[in-house]
Amino acid sequence: MAQAEDAVQPLLQQFQQLFFISKIAGILPQDLEKFRSRNLLEKSRNGMIYMLSTLILYVVLYNILIYSFGEEDRSLKASQSTLTFVIGLFLTYIGLIMMVSDQLTALRNQGRIGELYERIRLVDERLYKEGCVMDNSTIGRRIRIMLIMTVIFELSILVSTYVKLVDYSQWMSLLWIVSAIPTFINTLDKIWFAVSLYALKERFEAINATLEELVDTHEKHKLWLRGNQEVPPPLDSSQPPQYDSNLEYLYKELGGMDIGSIGKSSVSGSGKNKVAPVAHSMNSFGEAIDAASRKPPPPPLATNMVHESELGNAAKVEEKLNNLCQVHDEICEIGKALNELWSYPILSLMAYGFLIFTAQLYFLYCATQYQSIPSLFRSAKNPFITVIVLSYTSGKCVYLIYLSWKTSQASKRTGISLHKCGVVADDNLLYEIVNHLSLKLLNHSVDFSACGFFTLDMETLYGVSGGITSYLIILIQFNLAAQQAKEAIQTFNSLNDTAGLVGAATDMDNISSTLRDFVTTTMTPAV
């Protein structure tokens, strides 16, 4: 136990920079010193006060921003349709709502987040005991990449908008910097979620890899056994000939596939649904696998020790499989807890993503038609900045959805890997164990959802993109119709004005009656 504790590095070690930045930005209330020294997330009263004060500061600043930049909007309200105005108002505040929900949730969860990482550490220890060591360094790299990406995106949006579209002669324009705060804070918060999720996914994959490794060692063990017994390959031809000829084509197919699938699955664990080929080629076509995996020819003396397969001993392997299954369940539970902690922020992020994406595109359309748009969405005036904003917003949402989807996929793949074990060992007792455990695995569900309203998977992504498209079409159609109606009325009114003027003129001068005739005849059809 103590040895495992030493060997397993806590996941939070990789979070140092992220925690420091989040602490300064006021996203997490936990104690900084304790985190530095012991990698623990603990409640802290000072942190809470600091966080609340930053929250209030941000809200006040943002409102000042809206107020000071809203002067243009006030003239806009008169000219614009009420719906656009109301939607605009809602859109300006959704960012703030998102930020506030993030911070309040972090406050509410401050005790539980630490627990979560503690549970992950325990899982790591158990995994270590089963012989798979988690490497957390990739996570540290990931965090750094995400942080850099965030800063690049935020800065490029902020600077380009400021330079191109904000009147920076006034000092009040510096307030524009505040407009980046909500998205920045939200992204930092989501990096926590994404990285933790990624860590869970890695753990699922580690379990899968361990199972596949068992399969591999057993295969090698079998080969080695066969090598030891000096069984000549022609022994297989002693099988009934009709069986052989019937399956000749299959044998060829599978033999061809095996070279790829075995090599791949042992390295990256990405060979999906290739249970059958491996199994059959092993059990019925021993010589096929001989031919296929000849490239690493096992030196008989050295493999004497190495190829002692665990799968041969059902009683021993049962313990291991049982433990792996329990760890799998524990990771699923952690995943659920993680999802629950971040359920409201994710819901608000998704709402934000949907609204902002639609709005940005709609306002881009409006800007190309030289219509006025709310001042906070001035980035839509420039297509290039719009592209950056859109990719930033959608990147956040899509990455989270993608990662959730991938994680639940990885958790479901464990069953496949488990069955590979059963198939390779080809042992009745082991089969029973595998069947029992795979039934259990089937019931370990980890589905990520936003408050139960919708699950985070590719289907939802598809639905959301469909929703954005249809809303855009509706909005643009109505915008077009309103524009046409306005133009028609304007021409009608101007025509009336001219007609009225001309009519007044006729009283004085009869000559102009011809002009009036001319005007009415030429312009009436235009109406």
Partner 1 sequence: MSPNTWVIEMPTQKTRSHPYPRRISPYRPPVLNRDAFSRDAPPMPARNHDHPVFEDIRTILSVLKASGLMPIYEQVSDYEVGPPTKTNEFYSFFVRGVVHALTIFNVYSLFTPISAQLFFSYRETDNVNQWIELLLCILTYTLTVFVCAHNTTSMLRIMNEILQLDEEVRRQFGANLSQNFGFLVKFLVGITACQAYIIVLKIYAVQGEITPTSYILLAFYGIQNGLTATYIVFASALLRIVYIRFHFINQLLNGYTYGQQHRRKEGGARARRQRGDVNPNVNPALMEHFPEDSLFIYRMHNKLLRIYKGINDCCNLILVSFLGYSFYTVTTNCYNLFVQITGKGMVSPNILQWCFAWLCLHVSLLALLSRSCGLTTTEANATSQILARVYAKSKEYQNIIDKFLTKSIKQEVQFTAYGFFAIDNSTLFKIFSAVTTYLVILIQFKQLEDSKVEDPVPEQT
Q: Confirm or reject binding of residue 168 to partner 1 (CB under 8 A).
A: no
Task: Note whether 215 and 420 are within 8 A (CB).
Answer: yes
Of 391 and 470, CB closest to partner 1: 470
Q: Residue 506 CB, nearest distance to partner 1 (Å)?
A: 20
Number of residues this chain uses to bind partner 1 (CB under 8 A)? 36
Closest CA to 291 of 320, 254, 321, 247: 254
Radius of gyration of the chain (CA): 33
Distance CA 53, CA 326 (A): 43
Helical H segments across 80-235, by residue range:
82-108, 110-129, 137-165, 181-229
Q: By CB under 8 A, name the one of 482, 502, 505, 523 that touches partner 1.
A: 482
Distance CA 194, CA 399 (A): 8
- With contacts defined by CB under 8 A, name the span among 14-22, 364-372, 391-399, 486-494 that binds partner 1: 486-494
Binding mask 443-462 for partner 1 (x = CB under 8 A): xxx-----xxxx--------
Of 344 and 492, CB closest to partner 1: 492
Of 135 and 432, CB closest to partner 1: 432
Amino acid sitting at position 146: M
Distance CA 176, CA 377 (A): 12
- With contacts defined by CB under 8 A, name the span among 152-160, 214-222, 281-289, 431-439 that binds partner 1: 431-439
Q: Residue 494 CB, nearest distance to partner 1 (Å)?
A: 12
Q: By CB under 8 A, name the one of 138, 246, 435, 513 that touches partner 1.
A: 435
Closest CA to 196 of 118, 268, 133, 125: 118
Distance CA 37, CA 512 (A): 94
Q: By CB under 8 A, name the one of 162, 440, 458, 498 that touches partner 1.
A: 440
Task: Give the footprint of partner 1 on residues 42-101 (CB under 8 A).
Answer: 81-83, 86
Q: By CB under 8 A, name the one of 46, 138, 493, 513 that touches partner 1.
A: 493
Of 412 and 436, CB closest to partner 1: 436
Task: Note whether 11 and 117 are within 8 A (CB).
Answer: yes
Of 170 and 483, CB closest to partner 1: 483
Of 56 and 504, CB closest to partner 1: 504
The residues, any chain, with a CB within 8 Å of residue 55's CB and separated by 6 or more, are 26, 100, 103, 104
Burial of 200 (0-12, 13-18, 19+ CB in 10 A): buried
Q: By CB under 8 A, name the one of 24, 64, 155, 489 that touches partner 1.
A: 489
Distance CA 401, CA 379 (A): 26
Q: By CB under 8 A, name the one of 439, 501, 504, 527 that touches partner 1.
A: 439
- With contacts defined by CB under 8 A, name the span among 225-233, 377-385, 416-424, 438-446 that binds partner 1: 438-446
Burial of 318 (0-12, 13-18, 19+ CB in 10 A): middle
Distance CA 118, CA 424 (A): 36
Of 256 and 467, CB closest to partner 1: 467
Q: By CB under 8 A, name the one of 322, 371, 372, 506 that touches partner 1.
A: 322
Task: Note whether 188 and 17 are within 8 A (CB).
Answer: no
Of 119 and 226, CB closest to partner 1: 119
**H or E segment to which residue 57 belongs:** helix 45-69
Count the neighbouring beta carbons within 10 Å of the beta carbon of residue 237. Answer: 10
Which residues are near partner 1 by CB under 8 A? 81-83, 86, 322, 325-326, 329, 432, 435-436, 439-445, 451-454, 467, 470-471, 474-475, 478, 481-482, 485-486, 489, 492-493, 496
